[in-house]
A and B are shown apart, each in its own frame.
Chain A
Amino acid sequence: MSLIYPRDGLKAHPLNASPAYTSTLKRAPSQPLILLPHTLSEISGPAFGHSAVQAGDSDLTLQHEGEPLGERIIVTGRVLDEDGRPVPHTLVEIWQANAAGRYVHLRDQHPAPLDPNFTGAGRAMTDAEGRYRFVTIKPGAYPWRNHHNAWRPAHIHFSLFGPSFLSRVITQMYFPGDPLFAYDPIFQSIPDAKARERLISRFDIDTTEPEWALGYQFDIVLRGRDATPLEEPHDD
């Protein structure tokens, strides 16, 4: 079997050894990674059907009795591979803080209010063209203890599988124009400025719905197979 998942795009990823993000100091491996040729174990991967996702899982504003507080937003986009092909029927999981910058997580101690009408977790499947759509609340920035006066830019966590074990990724979506980008070691852990920009969603007036919600577009590009399969070796 040919190696069909090229590696050249991987340089977009951050290195785990990113000392400005202090949690990496005792967690980044110190030994070099060992190059693994791809086998069936890597090029196959879990598939989640529509049964895993319930109707309404993609609207985070409808999960409780009342309306959550904050700025209602629509987040939508396409999941594509590196060769521009849509990734259909794949699971997208998101989670986030509420409008005040507080997670419902039991260990989040940030003294900002919890919102009884907002959990901040959602799921969706991409459609045949790789599109997904969530309705949620714009998350707030929040402080963390990485360094003096450290604040995370507002973000939504995204988790995707794609077609194989190799395409699995967890990432974060940011919002355009955030003044905290320059000070955030997690965002800045991505060495390439163009790759960093790919994590910033785009305000979109066409996604925005009148009298109701602002719209943001966020496309996600997963590890891709080579567009052209390698030829089988043959004798001349």
Chain B
Amino acid sequence: MTERKAALGLTPSQTVGPFYAYALTPRAYGGSELANERIATDGVSGERITIRGHVLDGDGEPVPDAMIEVWQADADGHHNAGGNAGFTGFGRAETSPEGFFHFETVRPGAVEGLTGTRQAPHLAVSVFARGLLLRLVTRIYFSDDPANASDAVLALVPHERRETLIAQRGPDGVFHFDIRLQGEGETVFFDV
């Protein structure tokens, strides 16, 4: 066995605050964007998908000052594939005054899981907002994927709450995924 000898204390998290947009999602301010809601450009291979949703607080009110970041594998299930031009796997979006966000990307493939298993296709999600001192972490799965039934992470979640992690495909083909920070239908958040 080995013993961990942490030399330094972690820098604590603090809220992103309400006034981050001009730096982190600066389109409305004419600033250059490091990343945005468009995760894959047109030339990237894979099924094109759109994910839309809103962020709601414990009263069901929209959260207009949240920032959502997603991190995903490409269509082949590989993260950060260097040769995949036009695809970084990283997206960042601010919520609108009505609490809406959306991402345009390619559907991720199945990713390597624990001890040789495969994970059902998913996106890793960070939620930042005024009033969140530490980001919240969740995942987006896809409602029409049979692999969900055998996913080891979904299996950790009580049955009645699993739906909160699954984006529902609407008649328009768009995947809908709301993030409820608190209360009825509260999204499952992970301790990572």
Contact = CB atoms under 8 A, between A and B. Distances in A.
Given A23-B130, A41-B122, A198 B23 contact: no
A220 B5 CA distance: 18
Interface in B1-46: 1-2, 4-24, 26, 28-29, 31-32, 34-35
A28 interface: yes
Contact of B9 (A26, A54, A221, A229): A221
Contacts of A182: none
Given A26-B58, A95-B23, A228-B2, A105 B133 contact: no
A121 B6 contact: no
Nearest to A84: B7
A15 B34 contact: no
A123 to B, nearest CB: 7
Interface string B75-115: 00001100000001110000000000000000000011111
Interface stretch (A45-53, A65-73, A128-136, A207-215): A45-53
Contact of B10 (A195, A228, A229): A195
Given A40-B112, A95-B23, A123-B34, A27 B131 contact: yes
A223 to B, nearest CB: 7
Interface in B140-192: 152-153, 156-157, 161, 181-183, 186-192
Interface size class of B (residues with CB under 8 A): 35 or more
A168 interface: yes
A112 interface: no
Main secondary structure of the interface of B (DSSP, over half): loop
A1 interface: yes
A165 B190 contact: no
Contacts of A166: 192
B132 interface: yes
B180 to A, nearest CB: 9
Contact of A105 (B5, B18, B80): B18
Contacts of A181: none
B11 A26 contact: no
A207 B142 CA distance: 51
A99 interface: no
Given A8-B4, A33-B189, A54-B32, A16 B134 contact: yes
A236 interface: no
Given A41-B73, A41-B122, A42-B124, A222 B11 contact: yes
A170 B80 contact: no
Given A13-B10, A14-B12, A48-B34, A23 B23 contact: no
Contacts of A10: 10
A35 interface: yes
A83 B9 CA distance: 9
A179 interface: no
Contact of A103 (B6, B19, B128): B19
A75 interface: no
Interface string A25-65: 11111110111111111101111100010100000000000
A196 B152 CA distance: 37
Nearest to B21: A105
A42 B192 contact: yes
Contacts of B68: none
A117 interface: no
Contacts of B139: 41
